[in-house]
């Protein structure tokens, strides 16, 4: 036989259980399609996640800029000035009513546990506000 004869020759393979074979092919196709569907779903979730991260990053930058503007506009008082202006409010060691400009700058340079420190500050400020509300 030559190469031309092999290409022209018909091959026949007998399948003993054609329904089972067809079922196996369909199940494999079903599994492949379900994997493709899940891959597409995961890709959409990742894209949404990246878009959300991008949006949050942009908003955080904007908030930092606004906070910096607020800090620049806020007056800076020493403890003596605060005692003169608010004699009935004597700050204890746990609460800080005002920070000097140097303290503000050094606070921005502390990268370690920055998020934990910010959460603690917010918690302390909230506790202080609640304490003041109870005093009214």
Phi, psi of 95 (to 5 degrees): -105, 145
Does residue 2 lie within any of the structural domains?
Answer: no
Of the three residues 30, 58, 74, the one that is the final residue of a domain is 74
User: In terms of residue numbers, what domain contains 24?
Assistant: 16-74
Query: Where in 50-102 does DSSP place strands (E)?
Result: none
Does residue 127 lie within any of the structural domains?
Answer: yes
DSSP single-letter state for residue 96: -
Q: Are residues 94 and 70 in the same domain?
A: no
CA distances from 105 to 16, 101, 125 (A): 81, 6, 20
Model pTM greater than 0.75?
no
Number of domains in the chain: 2
Q: Are residues 41 and 94 in the same domain?
A: no
Does residue 8 lie within any of the structural domains?
Answer: no
Place of tokens 């506009």: 73
Sorted by sequence, the CB contacts under 8 Å of residue 1 that are 6+ apart come out as 9
Tell me what pLDDT residue 77 has.
77
Evaluate whether 75 touches 63 at the Cβ level (below 8 Å). Answer: no
Of the three residues 74, 102, 120, the one that is the final residue of a domain is 74
DSSP single-letter state for residue 35: H
Q: Are residues 67 and 82 in the same domain?
A: no
Q: What is the pLDDT along the chain (136 residues), one digit of tens a residue?
A: 455 666 667 777 888 888 888 888 999 999 999 999 999 999 999 999 999 999 999 999 999 999 999 888 887 778 788 778 777 775 555 544 444 444 555 544 444 455 556 666 666 766 776 777 676 5
């Amino acid at each position: 036989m030559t190469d031309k004869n092999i290409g022209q020759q018909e091959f026949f393979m007998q399948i003993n259980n054609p329904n089972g074979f067809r079922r196996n092919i369909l199940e494999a196709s079903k599994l492949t399609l379900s994997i493709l569907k899940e891959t597409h779903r995961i890709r959409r979730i990742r894209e949404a996640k990246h878009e959300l991260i991008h949006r949050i990053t942009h908003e955080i930058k904007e908030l930092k800029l606004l906070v910096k503007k607020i800090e620049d506009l806020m007056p800076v008082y020493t403890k003596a000035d605060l005692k003169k202006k608010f004699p009935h409010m004597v700050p204890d060691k746990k609460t800080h009513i005002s920070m000097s400009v140097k303290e503000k700058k050094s606070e921005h340079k502390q990268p370690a546990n920055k998020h934990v420190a910010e959460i603690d500050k917010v918690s302390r400020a909230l506790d202080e506000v609640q304490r003041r509300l109870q005093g009214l």
